Structure 1
Amino acid sequence: MALDADTFRQITETIDRFVRDRLIPAEAQVDEDNAIPPDIVSEMRDLGLFGLSIPEEYGGLGLTMVEEVELAFRLGRASPAFRSLIGTNNGIGSQGILLDGTEQQKQTWLPRLASGEVIGSFALTEPDSGSDAASISLSADPDGVDFILNGTKRYITNAPIAGLFTVMARTDRTIEGAKGITAFLVEGNTPGLSVGLPDRKMGQRGTKTADVVFQNCRVPASSIIGGIAGRGFSTAMKVLDRGRLHISAVCVGAAERLLDDALSFAMNRRQFNAPISEFQLIQAMLADSRTELYAGKCMVMDAARRRDLGEAVSLEASCCKLYCSEMVGRVADRAVQIHGGAGYMADYPVERFYRDVRLFRLYEGTSQIQQLVIARNMIRQHQGQN
């Protein structure tokens, strides 16, 4: 159920101030230190940002999809590192428990995720399994009433600070593909679980990703999400629509920030005795960026409304993820071009954002995976109509 208009307006105004007064001024420090200051993390907890999508009965804000993307538009205007910290708790780290978990699992973990007491992490990708997620090989072999996990996960967001991992493991190696995969809830301090050194990435400094290694890691059967083996891949797929719409909204927010910075620079930078904003080729780049940004925002809002109405939006969510992640890359490129040589310097935020937004085309499903999802959904819909 949506919040009443006054309450939600107060929340958005609070987030606007927080982004403007706390997050944006801290961006350079986060990039330099490769870490978010603890006082900002504490403020994010106090604001309830770790529980945006978790229902109120479990300690979250229980936002609708439309409300969540509205806040993601705002959070996206700051460095993606801030949003990444809370992203897993609101998305794939909690939604699998919410959708398929037992009531005991929900009561145990959702309030702690919503408060930010525990940072969640979703362990799916492996060294030899990325876009082909159904080919994962991390094994979970039964041993009495327990399972023994062995294998490695790669590029796992928030792994160095996670207290809870949702781990996709193969419980039945006689079955190829998705049906042999099970989702486990594994606490970060479980013996046999170790986290590698933080990855060195092109951008999004301040986010933490790393390998997660399982060596004879014993977990009880009660840690299986929902208590049902072989349903892990299905659980993972269920949470993708919300995650892809959230990331799409963040891309829109980042594009808005980039365009504002580019416009401000163009209006103040003078060449040939005039602001460069008066030059038609600069205006063309600004106009193209504004048009694409508007289109992306409309797409996200439309898909979010449809999801809140209970419609299946896998196709629309992939359309949004494909378009918005590619769109923000084009806007970032134009923003650097408008800045000229200054855009290549680390003194200006556009240089950092140019690197940061490149990742959006890769995670939560690459652009090419989105194209496949869209086309396959179109084909199924057409077949169903004939």
Structure 2
Amino acid sequence: MSVLDVLSGDERMVVQTVREFVDKEVKPVVRDLEHSDTYPEALIEQMKRLGVYGLAIPEEYGGNAVSMSCYVLVTEELARGWMSLAGAMGGHTVVAKLILLFGTEEQKRRYLPGMATGEIRATMALTEPGGGSDLQAMRTTARRDGDAYVVDGGKTWITNSRRSQVIALLCKTDPDTVPGHKGMSILLVEHGPGLTVSRDLPKLGYKGVESCELVFDGHRAPADALLGGVEGNGFAQMMKGLETGRLQVAARALGVGRAALEDALAYAQERESFGKPIWRHQSIGNYLADAATSLTAARQLALYAAREADAGRRVDMEAGMAKLFASETAMQITLNAVRIHGGYGYSTEFDVERYFRDAPLMIVGEGTNEIQRNVIAAQLVKRGGLDA
């Protein structure tokens, strides 16, 4: 049974089209782009034409909405070619989901058609320099002043922030509310006076797309930028959005792990030592067997969470499990791929060193794996067990 068998015929065609794009257009150029940290403008434009930016947006708003299972497999294919390409559409998809689920009809009409084509790019801004995963400790505020909100504060590690036209900003509209999350709201912020993209952060991997610091200093956002039009719902809205975000990160990990396994498997059949291909040496064969087994398990876990999401169920625990297991799996597979390649695995002439640099992002991104374990444990207690 092919993993694509869970999809409709049209969705299988979507995944296959992206797979061909990765093999024909991405793989031949990715090494040079990644090593020079060059923004992949031409590849992003092709992704727009393929409809990748509209995969979470219904047809009535100009998109081509697919199941979450299809979205996971498309993301895996993009990350197999270059994880940064999956990152270039990840936050965009989360914002599209937020607007679709919680936005006013005017907000949907204003943003979703342009987002479906990629003409409007979107990102989300949660993390702050002193807060990390502790969102309730955030200090960014939005104070109502007539027909606008005045925003002050700072965000960090915001992907695509220079090239996105709209930023889903999680902030405090009532800083004095206890508990703190009840005073949070999401503003759909656009670039303008008082909003500065201060610098691009240097990174181990995840090259090509920018991750920046944002500074808000008296930035005025119109009152109708408030997602859904009601204050105080931002934390719950963003937690729902992060279910998609964590599945997207899990899928990125699947792609990176799969690329590393494919390269390691090919190399282990070509490289010989002591008169035989190195895969026949038990230690190398064990690496390959363990990688294939854990990658298959990680994919099934991600697809399980995706099916639960498509059924309309809450999947913070399931998405957290998928993100946790897939990211740890990718880290182990990429490390062992370097081992299988020996000295060549440490060379920038082989792609496995890139996979090894990209894999750690999924461990710390979209909530660290330590946070994922906390979420999973809390949900186990709240639900009364795994199968309750």
Residues 101-116 of structure 1 mapped to structure 2, 5 A cutoff = 101-116=103-118
CA 1:203–1:4 in 2, change beyond 3 Å: closer, same or farther?
Answer: closer
Unaligned 5+ residue runs, structure 1? none
Residues 44-193 of structure 1 mapped to structure 2, 5 A cutoff = 44-91=47-94, 93-176=95-178, 177-188=180-191, 190-193=192-195
CA drift at 1:384: 12
TM-score by length of 2: 0.95
Contact 2:253–2:327, Cα closer than 8 Å, also in 1? yes
Distance 1:205 1:317 in 2: 25
Correspondence for 1:266: 268
Residues 338-377 of structure 1 mapped to structure 2, 5 A cutoff = 338-377=340-379
Residues 223-302 of structure 1 mapped to structure 2, 5 A cutoff = 223-302=225-304
Distance 1:72 1:171 in 2: 34
CA drift at 1:52: 1.1
AA of the residue aligned to 1:84: G
AA of the residue aligned to 1:28: R
CA drift at 1:40: 1.7
Distance 1:316 1:9 in 2: 24
CA 1:25–1:36 in 2, change beyond 3 Å: closer, same or farther?
Answer: farther
AA of the residue aligned to 2:246: R
**Percent identity, aligned pairs only?**
36
CA drift at 1:362: 0.7
Distance 2:325 2:386 in 1: 26
Contact 1:135–1:178, Cα closer than 8 Å, also in 2? no
CA 1:166–1:284 in 2, change beyond 3 Å: closer, same or farther?
Answer: same
CA drift at 1:8: 2.3
Residues 182-221 of structure 1 mapped to structure 2, 5 A cutoff = 182-188=185-191, 190-221=192-223
Correspondence for 1:330: 332
Contact 1:160–1:198, Cα closer than 8 Å, also in 2? no
CA drift at 1:38: 2.4
Contact 2:188–2:227, Cα closer than 8 Å, also in 1? yes
104-113 or 34-43, which deviates more: 34-43
Contact 2:328–2:363, Cα closer than 8 Å, also in 1? yes
Deviations 1:82-131, CA, capped at 9 Å, x for gaps = 1111112212x221111111000011001111111121111111111111
Contact 1:27–1:78, Cα closer than 8 Å, also in 2? yes
Correspondence for 2:3: none
Distance 2:132 2:34 in 1: 27
Distance 2:16 2:273 in 1: 38
TM-score by length of 1: 0.95
CA drift at 1:36: 3.3
306-315 or 95-104, which deviates more: 306-315
Distance 1:222 1:121 in 2: 18
AA of the residue aligned to 1:54: I
Deviations 1:25-58, CA, capped at 9 Å, x for gaps = 1211221331233222211110001111111111
Deviations 1:312-366, CA, capped at 9 Å, x for gaps = 2221111111100111000001000111111111111000110011100011111
Distance 2:347 2:325 in 1: 28
Contact 1:155–1:210, Cα closer than 8 Å, also in 2? yes
Distance 1:41 1:382 in 2: 45
Residue 12 (str. 1) matches residue 19 (str. 2): no
CA drift at 1:385: 10
Distance 1:330 1:95 in 2: 31
CA 1:384–1:206 in 2, change beyond 3 Å: closer, same or farther?
Answer: closer
